[in-house]
Structure 1
Amino acid sequence: MTSAILGDLEARALQQTAGLLEAASQALEDYQLTAARTAYESVLELDSANAAATEGLVMVTALEGIAEEVKAIRALEASGDLEAALAQLERLAAENPQNPFIRNQRASLEARILDREYQTLIDASLTAEQAADFSSAIASVEAALKLKSSTEQEARLAQLKEKYKAARLDVLLSDGYDALRAGRYEAARNFYKEAVAIAPDSKEARTGLEKASSLYLANIRYSQNITAAEKYISEGRFPLAAKLFNEAMSSRPSNVAPSQLTEEARIRASLKAQSEEVNVTIKSDKRTYVSIIGVLPPDRFKTEELKLFPDVYKVRGTRSGYESVEIEFKVDARHPNATITVECTEKL
């Protein structure tokens, strides 16, 4: 009977303690600090080792003097303005650096803000995925995982990357093909290069890259030779210009811009106009040996009539006891019958 009575008393004490703790917690939540303190102290009178009551009293003490400010902060939280609430808490923490209530509240608020940012990023990734914008979806999930780890989202990220690769590969192959057809070989090469990086085993991507690279290099050679041919024509070096123009034609891509076609026609016309020999007269004093390498051996004369293909030549004059002379002259079909005078007149 005694055991039964003691057990009943213990049960009533436990029930009373639980009721007091619940009342104390509610009073603390409502910032009724006096009532909360009384309830917690009553619990400790019944159970001096009660950890919840001991911790509750610590929180009551921590709230004394700042309760009104905490109420204002909680009101900001309730309105959803978490950043403003956190700013106020940080100000309060600076004034009360050892306050456990403020420390706990700040940790809780920071966790809520992080959770909200995390969920915002996840929601954005879902919206992007529905729109097939896998790149944006991936960026959002990666940003979310930097805030908080999630096995589920890591698995979803891997799936999104596979979807992105498949979608991006289709776009790159299509763009590369269109660029090839349009003669935009550098762009085509870049598209196919990215496609190979995404899918190294794709035969279409690798074949496209080889073709685009080959045509790109051929186009570079073509453009460089056309430019060089123009340069040598302007300098009067027509044989060299013709050689480079022929090389340009041998590497000419199938698709050529209208401006390049116009340039080809201009070069072809210039070279054709310079394809016949031109009359040139060399005059001297019959005392100077005059020569042109590959054309005229050293000889003395008054006048020598030559027929030369348009090009740049060097005529040299030598005479014993006199300074040698060297003259570079251009033979141009547009200016026939040119006369060059070569005489050594400066004594050594």
Structure 2
Amino acid sequence: MSSVDEQIAQSRAKKKRVIVTGVITSVFACLLIGVVVTLLAYFPVSGGDTPVAEEKGESQASLANHAVDRKALQTALNETNQRVSELVSSPYLSKWKPVKVAGFQADIDQAFNDYGASNYSQAQTTIEQLNTDITNYQSAFEEAYKQAYENAAQAFAADDINEAAQLNAQALKVKGDSSDALALQKRIDTYHEVADLYEQARVGGVEGNIEKQRAAYQQIIELDPQQQDAKAALAKVEQQIKQQRFARALATAVNAIDRKDFDRAQEALAKASAIDNNRPELAILQAQIDAELKSQGMESLEKRVQVFAGADEWQTVLILAEKGMADYPDSQVVQQAKQSAGEILAASSALDVYIDRPDRLADNNIRQNAVNAVSRYSGLTQLSAKLGEKISQVEQLIEQENQPIDVTVRSDNRTYIKVLGVGVVGEVREKTIQLKPGKYQFEGSREGYRSTIVDVVVEKSGTPIVINVQCNERV
């Protein structure tokens, strides 16, 4: 027996009790119909064409039923019944609008009843409509929680935490097992704690307490792994800590050499190597330790300073120079090395601001500051090739942000247009020109009309720049 026949058999079994209890009523109904037929035989009713119409209607219904592919209908019944069963068994889909779900169950039952009564055409119509309704219901359900989640995510990104919490609660009310909404809820729950930790990290930066910064960023990432800013900041802090440890070990080695304590110098150099054994300073300093065994005093210090300066390691030069100034204040080599190291390191830090945040160069003032910085520090490239590389990198970033931008000029084809200090547009109805980011003035003139000036700020944005320049006011 097919699954459709089983469904029909079950449906008939349910109805059997109803049929038995209605037998008596049916008998009385049959007697009543007999009386009515007898009366109609003696008293014919006008409109004799009605039976013909009924027969025609029955014939059309019969034809419609014969036109239905029963095998295809059985398959459709089974597949639709499966869809209804899956929907009913889904905890969130079924509880979203339970009245509609109950209606779907009633519709599939009715479709099986119609099939069992050989009303195939009606069963097919019911199945088609039911499938459409289920699809629409599922789509509406998806939209209900997805839209609420997306709005919640936008509110969270805008730091509107209360709105985000309310919207995400709506999404979870509709679909409580949504992985996206559940993940966002964890972020919402830890939002204020994360904010407090960011403040701790900021205070640690002000205090110069890098360990405090690291601990705060580590806790932030543990609470909210999606905090990309904290990850980037932690990576930078870890690198700074590594550099500090390396610098301390290196300074210890340098101090030990100055004290003629070469065993201590070798020990400190080994610690520095364990931190980062690829740094060129190690080999250079080891060579200097060997050299210090043979030479003493200011000459040795000046040589070390020159070696590190030649290796473009100005942080080490500064350490050596600051220490050397205490012992050899009259050394012009050490004095000059300290000054050059300070200028180069300051220039490098200033350029890092633009390299780390190239998006800020879209601002005209900041971009001009970067141009000024490049000009100011270019003279130091003779001493530091690394600084020269940074200057080249900043110049490339400036050039990227200084690319010409399309500007569409619209007019009445009678106004003569110029870009003051740049060039002529002419009389146009519409023309696209290219201008570098900055502030410009468009002048429109026309004989017999008052000239007009249009101020325009050209900058990168997702919106096309369109200006209208027309002389409309007669003189």
Q: TM-score range by the shorter chain?
A: 0.3 to 0.5
- Larger relative contact order, structure 1 or 2 (CA cutoff 8 Å, min sep 6): 1
Q: TM-score, normalised by structure 2?
A: 0.27
Q: Which has the larger radius of gyration?
A: 1
Q: TM-score, normalised by structure 1?
A: 0.34
